[in-house]
Each structure stands twice: as C-alpha cells, then as structure tokens.
Structure 1
Amino acid sequence: MGYLDDQVAAITSPPRRPRSRILWVLLIVVVVIAIVTLTAMQAHLHTGHVTVVRAEGTLVTGLVDSSDSTGSEVIGNALRAAADDPMTDAIVLRVNSPGGTPSAAEEIIGDIEYAKTKKPVVVSMGDIATSAAYLISVHADRIYANPDTFTANIGTIWTFSNDSEWMKKKGYQVEVVKSGEMKDMGSSSRSLTTEERDYAQQLVNASFESFISDVLSHRPVNRTAIEDGRVIRGQEALDLGLVDKLGNLNDAEDAATDLARTRSS
C-alpha cells in the first residue's frame, strides 16, 4: 500500500511552483520598471525643464537675500544646484538689478561659467540690468531683454562725500591719527588730496578696463558705442549687439529649452 499512498499523495497535493518561475516573474517586473523609467525620462527630455534663478536688487558678496539686494553666494548656490540637478535641462537667469560691486559680479560669473559646462544658461532682463548686472549677463549663452529694459551703463564709479563745511558750521571737529597718508582716504570730514584723487582714478580706470574688455570679448559691439557709460534702452541694445533678442521671461525659457534640445541631440 506504500506505493499507492505515494501516488495518491502526488495526485492530490498541489503542484510545487518551480523557483525558476518566481525568478522569471521578478525579472519581468524589473524590465517593466525600467521601461517605465526610460519612458518618463524621454518625456522629460522632450518637454524640457527650465529652472529660473533670480538676480534682483543690488548685487553684493555673501549670503544676503533681502528686498533690495542679493548676495553672490545666494545666486551662485542656486546656479550650481540647477546645474547639478539631473531634472533640470536648462537655466534662465532672471536679472532685475541696477548693478552692484565688481567682486559680487566676479563671483557670480564664476558660477555662471560652471553652470554653462553642464546646462545652457539664458538671461532674461526685467526692468533694469545695468552695470555689474549687465556684466554677469554677457556670460550667458543668450540674452533676452524687453524693448524698454534699461541696460548697459558699462563702467565703474566711486563716490566720495565731503561734509567738512557742514561740520564746520555745526561746530564739529574731527581729529585723525593714522599710520599712512591715505589711511583715511574717503573720510567725509575732508576732501580728497590730489594724490588721493589720482590714486582713486587709477583704481576706477583699472576696474573699467577689466569690465569693458570682458564685455567686448563676449558681445559683438564697438567700444566707442558703450564706453561713455550711458544707460541704453533694450531696443537700442539689440541694435548695438548688447543683447540677442527682445522678449519676456517665457520667451527666454523657450529659448533655453531649444538650446537644451540642441545640446542633447
């Protein structure tokens, strides 16, 4: 009866599912997940995701982020994050700034150049993008401005105030103990000496030459058309070669998407 019992048990017992079948099911699941992921990535590349980074207010160095100024580290960190983000295809730098310090511009430029090694960077100018704000803009792959955007204003300025006459009338007196003749240069309690004025002009001239040389190396514009430092309207800026296109933020985003597609093809 042992043999018959074994046969009956084999017939009535549920069949064992081979381990290989489970492995096949797992493999199919993995393949399906991979196909879905690739499809999503292709759709992403097709639509193009643009990250907008804003440079608004006076440009200064540091982590400043207020209603009237933005720090170079705030802008730079945003640019680098977008550049390293695999879900970002292109970057639009929205500039609405009267300018700022040369050092702030230099730091932001370094971050723009980093971002450009990974993603297209397009500038969209708002109401104003002058002085240092224009300087950072020339490092983008393309510049968009509105017809009435105020831009250019290329140059360097250093302002000194002299309150000595007012202080004299009010009876204020200032005594200065200093280690060098120019240590209190720029003090509002006195005017500049001839030597100090000449030295200040040397610093301004050196900064200006660096500024305008950088612009001329990136933009097809004649030096004589911009070296007077005037503010230039967007339409004229286009005619001079200071910007590439007239358009708003949406136009700049579309251009950035097109550049991303061109780069990936």
Structure 2
Amino acid sequence: MTRFPHLAQRLFNTPIAIHPAKAEVVMAALADRLGIARLFSAGQLVALRPQAFDEDEAAAQRGPREDDTNGYRIVGGIALIEVSGTLVQKLGTLRPYSGMTGYDGIRLNLLAALRDPDVQAIAFLIDSPGGEVAGCFDLADTIHSLRGQKPLWAILDENAFSAAYAIACACDRITVPRTGGTGSIGVIGMHVDFSEALSQSGITVTMIRYGAHKAEGNPYEKLEAAARARMQSDIDTMGELFVETVARNRRLKASAIHGTKAETFLGAAGVTAGLADAVQSPDQAFGALFRSL
C-alpha cells in the first residue's frame, strides 16, 4: 500500500504525456487504493479495479528480474529494446516490469547496444500509451543525437501515443500496424479537489504555508484561478516542447503538428499525417530492417 501515494504524486498536479483514456483507467484503478472512493457516498464514484492492476501490484511486490546482463535481446544482429506500458522517468531496471518502462532503462539499453559489436541495428518495440514528461524529451534528444551510428527503428507493436511517440519520432524510421496508433502529441495535467468531500465528511485540512505559492494546487483546497493559470502555463510550455521535438525529428512544420490538436491516428492515417513511414506488422517491419542490413 505504501506505493500508491508515491504513484499519486507522479500522476496529479504534474504534467504528463499520456493518452487520456489510459489516464482515466489509472486514476479509476487508484481511486479505491488511495482512499478516494471512501470519501464519496455510494453511487458517486465507481472505482474500476481491473485484474491487470492486481497483477501489476503483485509484480511490483516481487520486484524486477534481470535474466541477463543486457536488457535487450539480439536477433539476427538486431537489438530489440522493449518499450511497453506506462513510461516513467526512473524504474531502476533495464526491462519493463509491473506494466511500466523506465526512460533510464531505455537509455542504458540504447547506449549498450550502440557499443555492442554483435549489434548492427536497434529496434525499439513500442506499445505504450505514454507516461511522464520528466525525462521524456531528454531521452528523445539523446536518441535523435545518436542517429547515424547504427540504424534506429521504432517498430510499433500496436500503439505509440504521447510520450511513447516522442521516443518513436526520434528514430530513423517508424512503422505502425494496420490497427496500431500514433499521435496524441499533447500534455495533460490532472488536479484533484477533495475539499468538498472532506467537508462533508467532517474533515478540515488547514494549510500553513510560508510563501504565497507554497502547496499551490494541493488537493485539499479549491483551485484558484491564478494557480490554474500558472499550471496551464507549465502545460503549455511542455506542449510546445513536444511540438518542437516532433517537428524537428519528423521534419514537419510546427503548424502541422499543432493542427493535429493531440489527435490519435489509426494505421495508415498516421502515415498520411507524416507521423509514421510505413504500415507494417511487427514481423514485416523486422524483416525489412533485417534485409536492409
């Protein structure tokens, strides 16, 4: 149970680059675990508790497992780096676990594969709704700066949304399956206001602060207009960074990226929008990369 408040800190009142539908599922799954549901009377909040979340919790308690020295597999001279689930800044493991992948693990795997004499090319196998903004664009810049040393392909094994797309677009080439998705080039922030629910429960939280903006946007007080404006400014700054990153990496006009309005694109529509290079299944894409070597 001690993990859930930590997760809440990484979800609320901070910019995240994640598909909105995934954010809703995560929030609903966490609601009961964080005690949010108990603040509401029956019928006012339905806390979804998918089986996958219970499995993730069990995996988190077991901790990460590393089966070998590297966090990637080599097949036919191609290093396969898996990027799946929710993306976080620091996971402390080279492989995805508990439904998450860490930017720290992706970076270490990439650098190791570039130095590995047995690796001729690198494929990021991506299926992710996105995740944390923190660390995302630094990693995207790193990947982009390493273009030309070895072929870097983003092979979508369904979706690369939001932060996952920021990683994909840094590669030399992006392939997407017919039923896969690209896009969601945007940033969101979620603020939770418990003040009314706490008041109805007879609970009063008094914030004692030094500095007018200290604890601004906390969940125990109404979100003031000035605080909301400052939070929106941060979101806008992150969003513009996202647009500039994609425009540079994909050689598109920023106006074209703005025009997507954080829309997601299915299969060939992503190619038409310039967000992917080809519609291919993962097997077809791997075969194409192998033949190119």
Shift in alpha-carbon separation, 1:147–1:241, aligned structure 2, 3 A? same
Letter in 1 for 2:279: L
8 Å Cα contact 1:221-1:240 kept in structure 2: no
Q: Equivalent residue of 1:112, what SS?
A: helix
Residue 233 (structure 1) aligns with: 266
Residue 247 of structure 1: which of 280, 283, 293 is its match?
Answer: 280
Structure 1's consecutive aligned runs of 4 or more residues displaced over 6 angstroms after TM superposition are none
CA distance in 2, matches of 1:112, 1:220: 15
CA distance in 2, matches of 1:258, 1:213: 33
Give per-residue Cα distances to partners, 1:203-234, cap 9 Å, x unaligned: 11111111011111222545346441122212
Q: Which runs of 5+ in 2 are unaligned?
A: 1-74
1:58 aligns with 2:86: yes
Q: Which runs of 5+ in 1 are unaligned?
A: 1-46
How many residues of Structure 1 are paired with residues of Structure 2 in the alignment?
214
Q: Equivalent residue of 2:182, what SS?
A: strand
Residue 112 of structure 2: which of 66, 81, 84 is its match?
Answer: 81
CA distance in 2, matches of 1:224, 1:196: 31
Shift in alpha-carbon separation, 1:114–1:48, aligned structure 2, 3 A? farther
Give per-residue Cα distances to partners, 1:17-70, cap 9 Å, x unaligned: xxxxxxxxxxxxxxxxxxxxxxxxxxxxxx951110011111111225422111
Q: In proportion to residue count, which structure has more helix?
A: 1
CA RMSD of aligned residues (A): 2.0
Letter in 2 for 1:61: Q
TM-score computed with the length of structure 2 as normaliser: 0.68
TM-score computed with the length of structure 1 as normaliser: 0.75
Letter in 2 for 1:204: I
Residue 140 (structure 1) aligns with: 171
Identity of aligned residues (%): 26
1:127 aligns with 2:155: no
CA distance in 1, matches of 2:281, 2:200: 53
Residue 53 (structure 2) aligns with: none
8 Å Cα contact 1:219-1:241 kept in structure 2: yes
Residue 218 (structure 1) aligns with: 249
8 Å Cα contact 1:92-1:252 kept in structure 2: no
Letter in 1 for 2:99: D
